[in-house]
Amino acid sequence: MSKKNTVAFFTVGSAIKFNEKNILRSDGTCEYYMLLKLLLKNPTIERVVLLSKSDWGRISEGERRKFDPLNKLYDPFTEIPELSLRKKTKSAEDKVNYYVEFHRLLSAKNLNIDFGVGFISQGWGTIALDSYSITLNPPYRLAKSLDMTLYYASEAIFYLNKNPQLKWWLLATDPRYVKPSMRHRDIVNLPQSVLGQQDFDINWYCMKELKQNASVENDDFGIKEVKSKYAGIEKMTIMNKKIVDPSVEKPDKFTIVSMQLSAPSSITDLRYDILKEYILDQDVDKTARIFGKWSDFYKTDNPQFKGYIATEVLDKTFTDTRYTIVLPTKDGWVTSKYSEMLQLGVVPFLHPGYDNQFHIVPKDHPLRLKNAADFYKKMEYFDANPDKRIQFVRLLQKELISDAYTGKFMIDLINTNLKEANIDMQLEDFGEALFNGEILFNESAREPIVKTVYKSVELF
């Protein structure tokens, strides 16, 4: 067995939630919760140290034991009472002291952290360390941050800065927060890489070393290159979830979730144009269902728009559905939708503009649509051959998400990156290290049928 590891875990710019009533798929808290739970299960992890605030101190002792039965979680904000004595005032001295004291008090515990994983969220601004450095341009003054950034990002960033030997990885689940050009400039210990949902190079403008008097004139800033790597982390939303077998009764042909991208008053919308081409213009019986918030302008004469629906109701709705389309995002990122649909036994056809780097399936895969006519032709074929649809979905469940609901894909991802970073440790990737999952597949019985399904679908 590998050596016991201590892992830093954090979200830069927001809090971690442990109260299950407050955990949502829509705001990232689901991913934080499930990955942390997976890490705590791992026999090769001795301790997980939180570098972010959370509601750990506000849930019951019973809830804590249920989440962390082996008592591996170390929450500085409950373990170190002195942290609650820090002043929250407007003075520059108290703001700097806020994150400096966090580092000092936590470092005194000698926890010997081996590596870290952190998420990026909305609260990480250009300046994380309020009043620590000066502005880039005259008239020079102390650089300020938003209070949200100070209270939910500065502690983790300063701790990473003061421990440059600590290697860590940034998990990016939202394209709004990671771009080819990053300007979060008061971090010097950058992630080894960004593990996200698209491949691209990042030019990260930041301090060359941590200096309070850092200035452009003294050449204290520069661009460092960081890789954003597609890592399949969109599948975290289905970790520890039960897979729905597609053979269950599915009376509804087509359902989709799609929110309006443009402003409420707008009369043009990219997603509406796609929905019109693929659904509204083709759905003569008006039986398709489109869930999500849309203005009255778009809903007029389009009864397919059904409005907002709660997540738990939505899952039941898709359990009754045979087909959906996964639409592209503005930034081209892979999203969690295809994996969530497969988990519910739905065929998630991919729009031609979705996943244009072809990470999920190859360019010519039958899951990918060529156009609207191709979409309806494939649905008609599968409705005429329901056994082929069932076997097709089972194949996709095996190939694309069978390592997701157990969490194995995340352990494998971490192990691969530890090896690439020359960190001599590996996490256990079997048995009690994983979530339990139901095995739905009979390989010997399925293989001939699977080949037939692919051959049939490729005729389109």
Q: Write out the two tokens for 221.
A: 């800033």
Q: Look at residues 80, 75, 9 and name the one whose alpha carbon lies nearest to residue 42.
A: 9
Predicted structure pTM score: 0.91
Domains of the chain by residue range: 5-231, 241-402+441-457
Phi, psi of 39, rounded to the nearest 5 degrees: -65, -40
Q: Report the side by side order of strands in the sheet with 115-120.
A: 73-74, 45-50, 5-12, 115-120, 168-171, 194-196, 221-230, 200-207, 181-182
Give the pLDDT confidence score for residue 444 in this predicted structure: 41
Strand partners, 115: 7
Question: Domain 241-402+441-457 belongs to what architecture?
Answer: 3-Layer(aba) Sandwich (3.40)
Q: Are strands 194-196 and 221-230 parallel, antiparallel or unpaired?
A: parallel
Mean pLDDT, 10 residues at a time, the chain of 460 residues: 84 95 81 96 97 97 97 98 91 96 98 97 96 93 96 98 98 92 97 97 97 93 97 95 93 91 88 92 87 91 88 87 92 91 97 95 96 95 96 96 95 98 96 77 42 45
Give the pLDDT confidence score for residue 437 in this predicted structure: 64
Give the pLDDT confidence score for residue 448 in this predicted structure: 36
Give the pLDDT confidence score for residue 301 in this predicted structure: 87
